[in-house]
């Protein structure tokens, strides 16, 4: 059998772009408002989740524009009503009738890249999207969101031709990316791509100098192990990672393996990273199903770090730890118990557009 050809590199004009760290300045944050008919928040679940998303947008809008995709004009009016009730300054929010079936803009939205100048340049990367390995059809409208955003902003856009979700990657802005084998090497996305192929793709398209590969994700995560539930950079050389102290918990072993990999990792100059641990909250179970509750799915906005909480005793420890790690901006806890039913939280909903 002939092995697949390696992925094509970007054109020379595309070289030099990088994917910033999330704490770098944003021009805006993009989100997609949910539908009542969605798989994520059907019926009454929508009524519980919508106020949480409105409160998230209120925190983001304190420091940057919010660009909000909605299904249609009627959905836009409903979203505006929720935002108004939450006290969101509506002048900071722009609605776009860019329909998507599900609200997880981190995964169906584009990646915004920069090329440091002068002059500073911006561009947009349009990875393909197939609803986490074909789990939730249809997804054709979600897959069109990056091109709609590119047209609105008038930014150059490239389409590498491979499936990739934003939640499967984490950047420190200085050339180190994190990802997981369980997601990127899953045959339900790109069955012909090897780990070496991904190392090359992420170097060529996102400016990576190295990729740190973790193993598997947490119980209940239908993305096959997105890294934004597991491990996050808080500065260029500091990582915070989830652990499960209970050896009998099914999350204990995979998270311990991930921790060992991080402690063994070195940056491109051969130096170890600082690794901080954060215990998972206790199991969050609804309708007999364990949900992927984690404090690591926080979002770093211009004005605050917004952290999901779960009415759990470990919420306080998570917030205290993250306040020490982010001394430059407030760390705000928002109850995500009604949001995690859709199997995602604040990082999954948001896509930063870098300034």
> Domain coordinates of the chain in residue numbers?
16-354
CB distance 116 to 21 below 8 Å: no
Is the pLDDT score of 2 beyond 60? no
Which amino acids are annotated catalytic? 348
Confidence bin at 280 (pLDDT 50/70/90): very high
Query: Nearest Cα to 210, choosing from 268, 251, 250, 161?
Result: 268
Q: How many CA atoms lie within 13 A of 86 on its CB side?
A: 24
Is 131 strand, coil or helix? helix
Mean pLDDT taken over the chain: 96
User: What are 107-150's pLDDT values in tens digits?
Assistant: 999 999 999 989 999 999 999 999 999 999 999 999 999 999 99
Q: How confident is the model at residue 12 (pLDDT cuts 50, 70, 90)?
A: confident
pLDDT band at 1 (very low <50, low <70, confident <90, very high): very low
Contact, 30 vs 353, CB < 8 A?
yes
Whole-model pTM? 0.96
**Domain 16-354 carries which CATH code?**
3.75.10.10
Q: How large is the average pLDDT for residues 234-250?
A: 98
Cβ burial of 8 (10 Å; 0-12, 13-18, 19+) is exposed
């Amino acid at each position: 059998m002939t092995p697949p050809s390696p992925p094509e590199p970007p054109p020379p004009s595309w070289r030099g772009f990088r994917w910033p760290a999330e704490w770098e300045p944003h021009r805006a944050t993009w989100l997609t408002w949910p539908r009542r008919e969605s798989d994520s928040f059907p019926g009454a679940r929508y009524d519980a989740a919508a106020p949480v998303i409105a409160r998230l947008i209120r925190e983001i809008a304190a420091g940057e524009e919010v660009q909000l995709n909605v299904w249609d004009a009627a959905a836009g009016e409903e979203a505006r009503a929720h935002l108004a009730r939450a006290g969101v300054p509506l002048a900071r929010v722009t609605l776009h009738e860019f329909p998507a079936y599900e609200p997880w803009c981190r995964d169906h939205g584009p990646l915004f890249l920069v090329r440091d100048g002068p002059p500073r340049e911006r561009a947009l990367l349009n990875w393909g999207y197939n609803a986490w390995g074909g789990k939730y059809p249809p997804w054709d409208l979600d897959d069109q969101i990056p091109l709609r955003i590119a047209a609105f902003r008038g930014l150059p856009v490239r389409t590498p031709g491979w499936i990739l979700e934003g939640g499967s990657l984490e950047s420190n802005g200085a050339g180190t990316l994190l990802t997981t084998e369980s997601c990127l090497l899953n045959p339900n996305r790109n069955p012909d791509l090897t780990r070496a192929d991904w190392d090359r793709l992420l170097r060529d398209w996102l400016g990576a100098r190295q990729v740190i590969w973790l193993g598997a994700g947490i119980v209940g995560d239908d993305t096959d192990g997105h890294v934004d539930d597991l491990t996050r950079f808080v500065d260029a050389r500091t990582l915070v990672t989830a652990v499960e102290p209970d050896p009998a918990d099914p999350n204990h072993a995979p998270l311990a393996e991930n921790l060992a990999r991080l402690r063994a990792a070195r940056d491109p100059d051969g130096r170890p990273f600082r690794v901080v641990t954060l215990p998972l909250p206790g199991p969050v179970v609804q309708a007999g199903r364990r949900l992927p509750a984690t404090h690591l799915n926080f979002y770093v906005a211009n004005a605050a770090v917004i952290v999901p909480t779960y009415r759990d005793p470990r919420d306080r420890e998570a917030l205290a730890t993250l306040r020490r790690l982010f001394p430059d901006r407030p760390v705000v806890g928002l109850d995500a118990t009604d949001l995690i039913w859709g199997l995602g939280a604040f990082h999954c909903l948001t896509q930063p557009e870098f300034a």
